[in-house]
Amino acid sequence: MREIVTLQFGHFSNFIGTHYWNIQQTMLNEFQPLLNNPMVPNFRPEIESSVLYRESRGVGVSIHSENEPSTFYPRLLVFDLKGSRGSLRKQGYKEEPYRSITPEFVDHQKELTRWEKLEVLRTFENKRQTKFTKNVLAADEHTRELIVDNENEQMDENEYDHTPQQTSSHSAEKQIEPQAKKSKKEYSRLDIEQDLEESVALWSDFLQVDFHSKTICEPIQFQFAEDSYSALNVSNAMNPFAMDSPFDIYTTGKEVLHGEFSNDQYDDFTSQLLYFVEECDTLDGFQLFTDSFNAWGMTCSDFTQLIKDEIGSKVPLISYAASPYIPDFASDQDRMKFILNTCLTYADMYQNTNLFIPNSCQQLPDALMSEYLKHNFNPKKLYHSASILASAFDSVSLAYRLNGTANNKQTDLYSFIQEMSPLNALRVANINIAFPYRFKTGTSLFQHFRSARPIHQNEHFVPLLSQIATGFHACDPLAQSLLIRGLTPVNVPLYHQSDLQELNEIRMKRFGGEELEKHKHLIGCNSHFDMIDGYMNQTRCFSKHAFHVNQPFKLPFTFPQYLNNSVLTRDGLIRSHAPTEDIAERVETCPLGTHLSNSRNFSKHIHQLVKYFDTISGRSSSLSVGGSGLSASYHYNLSPDELKEYKEILGRMLDNYEDEEADEDFEDEVEGELEHEEED
């Protein structure tokens, strides 16, 4: 057994993480009835859930009965600021577990220490609830009383506004008594979908997964700036975007582990990390999701050092950094902070992790618009853009979560990182996604790949980073990983009979050999994996992975409904004929492809960042947040030497990916390594 621990840093990364774990939970729910089922002996799914999930039986005991039901929790730490959890709060002992949400009750929960036996319960710590959350609470009669009635919200808020601050113990006890149990009210799926489109403000608004009690990590020094993130969800000049919280200054992230009040916090977070690590049989490594546009990049960087100190410097670390679409009406000061934070995050992640995968939503409004997505798709919204990134992260991470069946090579995280970064200096990769993967109903896999460009020039794959060369302008990758899922032998034949007849006719031609040479990589394949692998062989590179997963991408219940069902079938394949009337069925699953590429296509992106950094870094001392609402002013606390060091790191990154002569040195080095291996 191999296990991976996941860490999420920041609100946008937690939006991505919520979609990511909803995807895992949807897949787990599908497989779980078949696991240990005597009617399906030796069942083993393509995707190993145990890589990301921990299984437990019973409560609070270490030796479990095989008859007790299993509970699955993500092996996960979630970092975010106070006030960002919304639908999650830590619940105390079960003597009186379900109470009305009053200010006194919330204060009582705050008194619980981190090391008491806590249980994470799905409720809101504020007044806003999505219909999805209400449905979840309504499913259990004990949690039904926690539902907030919309018509009573204003009345309740007025009552709380007039509640005296000093209350007797008798009155406090009276206020926190449970209210009368509410009747069960269910919302339709359509109601929930519409409500999520309009009401999602926090990542917990659409969370389908139960977290372990040690998952949530909240720094006590800072408060979540909800207004700024509301502007990212709904672009509106009346609700302006402003990077004016302390955590919008990159160096503030160091306060989480190394600040004036961080000693106990450091110990707490370390213990929470070690809790998940120590129960692993074989720790495969860590995958990190982090915001790249605020202070969470520095917190993530500090945590990588903590991992190396506490667990070991050789443990593999793969980092996925992400930034949302910055609104068009953002001020110049905010744009400078956004870009400067991104540059500093890139430098730290490049230095401190083994494989760095940066992502940005800035180019998505132009890149992803197609007839396969509905008009309501809006990548400027966190709820939508995070779903695209989560789908990509899930697909890329499948490479080190497959069980090795169906011709797929079982790859651990260490091997995957080594093959995706053949040289230590070249450890940046970018994701290109085909969502949905465009495949027409009735087409054979041979016909599909026969007309496709080589993978590094395939324009159906959209880069999740700006300024990345595509199409004929794309360079051959140094290393690449292609994963395509959902093209099963049941709905996608390898060859049609007409394909085989055509190939035989070509062989009979006098000069047919030249035509066959064009498609030699697609001829004589015995499986879908063989053909996908052959398709990749068109592209010259030093290291490659090809994966084929039969299971399609299944859209979770709370996934945004923007796949166009008038163009796509329920299975996500392109319809052979346009429908004559409106289609009521929604797209439930779809094929999906990701191409992870370590290539010099990244050079233009990093070159632009280096240019911005040269311009902005000189003004970093003038960039700050503070004012009447804050007790102190926060600045970029970087000395000239530190700024110089960051500039050198970014410069080295640029040189490694921009210098064309390095290709020849790289070839010589790789050939030397291969000769050395042959001699051994």
Evaluate whether 27 touches 551 at the Cβ level (below 8 Å).
yes
One domain, residues 634 and 489 = no
Q: How many CB atoms lie within 10 A of CB 245?
A: 22
Q: How many CB atoms lie within 10 A of CB 90?
A: 20
Pairing of strands 317-323, 355-360: parallel
- Residue 516 maps to a domain: yes
Residue holding tokens 């006098």? 510
Question: Which residue stretches of 185-258 are H helix?
Answer: 189-199, 226-233, 255-258
Q: What is the pLDDT of residue 113?
A: 40
One domain, residues 497 and 553 = yes
Contacts of 49 (CB under 8 A, 6+ apart): 24, 27, 28, 31, 72
- How many domains are there within the chain? 2
Contacts of 651 (CB under 8 A, 6+ apart): 610
- Residue 651 maps to a domain: yes
One domain, residues 442 and 555 = yes
pLDDT above 60: residue 296: yes
Instruction: State the residue range of the domain holding 487.
Output: 431-604
Evaluate whether 531 touches 449 at the Cβ level (below 8 Å).
yes
- Residue 367 maps to a domain: no
Q: What is the pLDDT of residues 567-599, one digit of tens each?
A: 898 899 988 877 766 666 889 999 999 999 999
Evaluate whether 597 touches 476 at the Cβ level (below 8 Å).
no
One domain, residues 586 and 638 = no
Q: Work out whether the CA dihedral 32, 37, 40, 41 comes out positive or negative.
A: positive
One domain, residues 450 and 561 = yes
**DSSP class of residue 82?**
B
Residue holding tokens 């400078």? 336
Q: What is the pLDDT of residue 646?
A: 94
Q: What is the pLDDT of residue 105?
A: 41
One domain, residues 455 and 548 = yes
One domain, residues 523 and 636 = no
pLDDT above 70: residue 389: yes
3-class secondary structure, 54: strand
Pick from 560, 575, 604: which residue ends a domain? Answer: 604
pLDDT band at 236 (very low <50, low <70, confident <90, very high): low
One domain, residues 452 and 581 = yes
- Residue 402 maps to a domain: no
pLDDT above 80: residue 508: no
Between CA 390 and CA 16 the distance in angstroms is: 5
Q: What is the pLDDT of residue 166?
A: 41
Tokens of 170: 């008798």
- Residue 337 maps to a domain: no
One domain, residues 465 and 582 = yes
Q: Is the peptide bond before 103 cis (omega within 30 degrees of 0)?
A: no
One domain, residues 581 and 510 = yes
Between CA 523 and CA 270 the distance in angstroms is: 54
Q: What is the pLDDT of residue 364?
A: 87
Between CA 41 and CA 33 the distance in angstroms is: 12
- Residue 404 maps to a domain: no
One domain, residues 532 and 671 = no
pLDDT above 50: residue 60: no
One domain, residues 532 and 642 = no
Greater model confidence, 407 or 154: 407
Q: What is the pLDDT of residue 679?
A: 56
Once rounded to an integer, what is the mean pLDDT over residues 187-192?
Answer: 82
Between CA 10 and CA 217 the distance in angstroms is: 11
Q: What is the pLDDT of residue 593?
A: 95
Q: What is the pLDDT of residue 358?
A: 96
- Residue 464 maps to a domain: yes
- Residue 30 maps to a domain: no
Q: Is 288 exposed, middle or buried (0-12, 13-18, 19+ CB in 10 A)?
A: buried
pLDDT above 70: residue 184: no
Residue holding tokens 């998505």? 364
Of the candidates 408, 305, 399, 328, which has an alpha carbon nearest to the alpha carbon of residue 357? 399
Q: What is the pLDDT of residues 632-653, one digit of tens each?
A: 567 888 888 999 999 999 999 9
Pick from 604, 631, 660: which residue ends a domain? Answer: 604
Pick from 604, 632, 655: which residue ends a domain? Answer: 604
Residue holding tokens 């070839």? 667
Residue holding tokens 């051994």? 680
pLDDT above 50: residue 124: no
**DSSP class of residue 34?**
G
pLDDT band at 661 (very low <50, low <70, confident <90, very high): low
Distance between the two ends of the chain, CA-based, in angstroms? 30
Evaluate whether 153 touches 115 at the Cβ level (below 8 Å).
no
Q: What is the pLDDT of residue 112?
A: 42
pLDDT band at 447 (very low <50, low <70, confident <90, very high): very high
Q: What is the pLDDT of residue 385?
A: 94
